[in-house]
Structure formats: C-alpha cells, structure tokens
Amino acid sequence: MMNFNINYLPKSDVVFTVMFLNKELCERTLQAILGENIELVDIVAESKNDMHKAALNAIYFDIKTKAVDGRIVTLDLQRKYRKDRVRKRTVYYACREISSQKVSKGEYENLKSVVVTFLLTEATLKHTNDNKHILLKDETGNIYSDILTIHEVNMKHINQKNSQEMQILKAFFEINTQKDFQNFSENYSQNDYGRLLLDAYAQAIRDDTLLDSLAKEDKYMIRLSDEERLEEREKGEKIGKEIGKEIGKEIGKEIGKEIGKEIGKEEKAVEITLNMLKMDLDMDFISQATGLSEKEIQQLKDSL
C-alpha cells in the first residue's frame, strides 16, 4: 500500500508546491491546461537543489517558473474561492510579474509574457460559468496584447470532454481519505500521468518536516488566514445576529416584567389612594402610605 498522509492531502497548498516542483509533472500538467507542448527550466536546479528555497521562489503563486522560450509561467492552487477577491489578487500579482521585469533603453517589446494557470479545487459549479482562457482584448474582440494570459480552471467543470490528464488531475484533488487514495492508485497507477502524480505525492510527504516548515511561512500562512478570516467573520456575524436576537428576547422579557411590576405598583397605589380619599384621610398620611406626591393625590381627589 502506498503512503498517504491525512494531514497533507493532495490539495494542500504546501503539498501542491513541493509536488509540482517536479519538472516533468509541472510540464505535463501545464500542457494539459494550455493545450500546447511546453518546456520549462528546472526550478529546483535554479535554487541550487534547495527545495525550501524553490518552494518560496514565487511572489505569491505556488509555482513560478520559466519556459525555455522566456515566458514566465505560474501554476497556482486555490481551495477557498471568493471570485472577486481571488481574481483581483491573481491579476495584481500577474501584473507585478510583468512590471518587475527590467526594461533597458525603453525596449518594451522585449518584455516577457506572463502565463497564469489557476486551479480551483472547491469552487462550486454555480460560482463559475466554465473553465476560462482570459486574454487582453479590445472592444471589437481583437487581441490587444499577449503580455498577460490567465487560465482559470474549475476542477468541478472537468468531464469526459476534457483530456484524460485533466480528468485524472480532478480525481487526484478529490482524494480526502485513505480509501479515496487507494481507489485512485488502483484506477490510475498504470497510467503515466497518474503514476507521476502518485510518485510526486509520495516524494512530497516523505519529508513532512519540509511540509511543516513551509506551512509556517508567511506565503502560506497569510493566504490561508486571509480566507479563513473572511469565513470566520461571516460565521461570527451570523452567530452574533442569532445571539443578539436571543439576548434581545431575554432582555425584552425582563424589561417587560419590570415594567409590568411598576405598572402594577402604580395601579395598586392609585386604587389604595382613592379608597383612602373616600375615607377622608389626611393627604400627608396618604402620601406616606402610598408613595404618591400630594400633587398626584390632589389630581386623584379632583377626579372623584
């Protein structure tokens, strides 16, 4: 039985990063997403075989590398999906990859294109229309510039119409239990791409100290805490409203009781005062007995 770590699922950010530092796996996956053959430089070799350094190479993407033709290529995984926020973040960091390039003597024609590939593993079908290939176009639909290309892939949209590699990748990210992992191994271990995923996963979880140390890095902590903070805030607001309603009900009951008591006291005092007035008792005595002022007693006397 192959190794499986319930604490580090295939869709874990740090597992994904370490797995896809594997040049062959990254190339095969990008080819399936982009629909073209692509050859990458070796990310780990560029970082002098330092896996920790290689994993933190990107500004904010899980994987940032280069194609041999010079294009900057990113591969990013996103589980918790908030469409507007995540898309703006993606464009922001993609634009940073463009603007951070050095331009010598105004030679902007030498800027390298940035290709962003973005995998959504838990976005529901209703949150996205389909998998998207986004280009900069003018109002007539003509390509304005190829400097930035974004490929947004919602794994839940992957079906029989897509390539076998994409279907296998979808099944891989759906692994949540030991049984799921066993089923995936039985179904895809004989497939070249399936085997690549299994081998890369086994290699990634073999050194859990690397995964543990990466999980504490700001790159992963901040992104995760941002999404969780938004989620917790929504939960907190919902719980707060419910608690507020219950507290409001209880306070209302207590206030009602107290008001009722006071009204009862006043009504009783009025009733006693009227009886005493009928008995022609002294006003000062009535005031001391009932707590009403002489003015209030006089008003009641006048009403008789």
Own/partner contacts of 296-304, CB < 8 Å, gap of 24 or more, are 297/273, 300/270, 300/273, 300/274, 301/277, 304/274, 304/277, 304/278
In a domain, 8, yes or no: no
pLDDT at 258: 67
Residues 292, 177 share a domain: no
Residues 210, 275 share a domain: no
In a domain, 270, yes or no: yes
Tally of CB atoms within 10 A around 104: 6
Residue 177 zone, left/alpha/beta (φ > 0; ψ -120 to 50; rest):
beta
Element of type H or E holding 256: helix 218-278
Question: Residue 208: which pLDDT band, with cuts at 50, 70 and 90?
Answer: confident
In a domain, 192, yes or no: yes
User: CA of 22: how far to CAs of 38, 55, 64, 132, in Å?
Assistant: 14, 11, 12, 25
Look at residues 166, 193, 216 and tell me which one is the last residue of a structural domain. Answer: 216
In a domain, 226, yes or no: no
Residues 184, 45 share a domain: yes
Residues 112, 51 share a domain: yes
pLDDT at 252: 64
Residues 274, 205 share a domain: no
In a domain, 277, yes or no: yes
In a domain, 224, yes or no: no
The CATH number linked to 295 is 1.10.10
Note the helical H segments in 100-217. Answer: 164-173, 178-188, 192-206, 208-215
**Domain span holding position 204:** 13-216
Look at residues 216, 243, 261 and tell me which one is the last residue of a structural domain. Answer: 216
Q: Which is more confident, 290 or 24?
A: 24
pLDDT at 182: 94
Q: Domain count for the chain, please give it.
A: 2
Residues 124, 261 share a domain: no
The CA distance from 179 to 198, in Å, is 15
Question: Residue 241: which pLDDT band, with cuts at 50, 70 and 90?
Answer: low
Contact criterion met (CB below 8 Å) for 143 and 136: yes
Mean pLDDT of the chain: 81
Residue 234 has pLDDT above 60, yes or no: no
Q: Mean pLDDT throughout 255-283?
A: 70
Contact criterion met (CB below 8 Å) for 162 and 144: no
Residues 118, 180 share a domain: yes
Look at residues 196, 216, 236 and tell me which one is the last residue of a structural domain. Answer: 216
Q: What is the dihedral of CA 218, 223, 225, 230, to 10 degrees?
A: 150
User: CA of 81: how far to CAs of 17, 50, 76, 87, 122, in Å?
Assistant: 18, 31, 13, 9, 7
Residue 75 has pLDDT above 60, yes or no: yes
Q: Which is more confident, 259 or 198?
A: 198
Residues 165, 276 share a domain: no
Residues 175, 29 share a domain: yes
Residues 131, 41 share a domain: yes
Question: What is the percent of the chain with per-residue pLDDT over 70, rounded to a whole number?
Answer: 77
In a domain, 275, yes or no: yes
